Amino acid sequence: MSKKLTVAVVGATGAVGREMLKTLHDRKFPATEVRAFASARSAGNKVPFGEDELTVAELTEKSFEGIDLAIFSAGGATSTKFSPFAAHAGCVVVDNSAAWRMDDRCPLVVPEVNPHALGKHNGIIANPNCSTIQMLVALKPLHDAARIKRIVVTTFQAVSGAGQKGVNELEKQVRDLFNAREIETKAFPYQIAFNVIPRIDVFMENDYTKEEMKMVNETVKIFEDPSVRVTATCARVPVFYSHSESVNIETEKKLSAKDARVILSQAPGVKVIDNPRADLYPLALDATGCDETFVGRIREDESIENGLNMWIVADNVRKGAALNAVQIGEELLRRDLIRVTDKNVFMK
C-alpha cells in the first residue's frame, strides 16, 4: 500500500453514512482523500466533512479505481452488487449491511473482540449487527475469564435502528398524538409512540425474528465457539438513539459480580456505571453520541450457580455502526492489511 490513502463512504447521504464521515474526521483517520458516493438521485448533493463539504458522486461499478478503503452503509442489495467490484479493484470493503456477515469468506469483526480475524480477509469485511456489537464488547472479557456457556438477551432498540424514517415516524406520531391527529404507521407495523413492539425484522420459520437470529448466529461466528448457546428477544422502543439490552449469562467458572465489575472496568471500549445505592446505571440518553459501551446493573443470578445479569447500552448509530466500521479501518492500517489482494474470490 502506498503512503497515500484514499477512503470512500458509500451511502454517504444516509444517517449512518453521515455519521461515518463525521467519525472519520473526528478520529483523524489518516486519509489523504475522502470521497462520498450514493445513488444517482443523490449525486451532486453536498455532505459535511468537518468544516468542509464533499460532493456526492454516483456509485457505479467503476467507482473504486484508486480507492484503498471503502466503508459501505447503503443496504444489502447495494453491497451485494457493488462490494465485489470494489474488492476486485483492490479496494478493501468494510460493509455495514447484513449481506456478508455469515459468508465464510468474510470476517465478521468487532475490533475489541476479534481483530485477529482481519488477517483472513479476501477484500470484504462485515460489520456486525448493532445489537451484537455492543453485547459482545461487554461479554468478551467475561468469556475470556470464565467461559460463557449460555446467553439470554432482551433488547430495547431505538427507532434510529430503522434509519431516519424511524426517527421521523416517532417524532411525527408524538406530535400528532398531542394535537389529536390520526396516527400513521409506515416505518413500523404498529404505533411506536408510547408503545413497545416485540418484533424487529421479519419472522422466521422458528418464530424468532431475523434480528434475533442475527444475534444468535453472529455471536457464535465472532466468538468462534459453536458451543455458546444464545437466545434473543428483540423489541423496538420509543427512544430515538441508543439500544439497551438486558443480558443474562451462564458461565463455566464462577464469576462474582465484583469480579465482573473489575474485569469490565479494565476492558477496552467499556465504561462501567454501576452503583445501585446512588441510583446509577447506564441510560440511553447517557450513551447517545458516545463511543463507549456502557454496562451496569451487574449482579449475580441467584437462580443458577454460575450466572450474571447486566444492563448494556450503546449508541447504535455510532458504536453500533459508524464507529465500529472506522475502528476496523484503523485496525487494518495497524496490521498493514489494506492492500491489493492477489486473488479475489468474489468475482467470477
Q: How far apart are CA 32 and CA 139, in angstroms?
A: 36
Catalytic annotation present for 130: yes
Question: 286 near 273, Cβ under 8 Å?
Answer: yes
Residue 166, φ and ψ in degrees, nearest 5:
-70, -45
Q: Grid coordinates 485477529 are at which residue?
A: 116
Task: Out of 91, 106, 121, 243, pick the active-site residue.
Answer: 243
Q: How far apart are CA 282 and CA 294, in angstroms?
A: 6
Closest CA to 58 of 35, 79, 80, 24: 35
Question: 91 near 312, Cβ under 8 Å?
Answer: no
Amino acid identity, residue 57? A
Catalytic annotation present for 91: no
Residue-wise over 72-96: b if at least 16 C-beta within 10 A, else e? Answer: bbbbeebbeebbbbbbebbbbbbbb
Q: How far is CA 49 from CA 3, 34, 94, 192, in A?
A: 22, 9, 19, 33
Task: Out of 91, 106, 130, 234, pick the active-site residue.
Answer: 130
Q: Grid coordinates 461499478 are at which residue?
A: 61
Catalytic residues: 130, 243
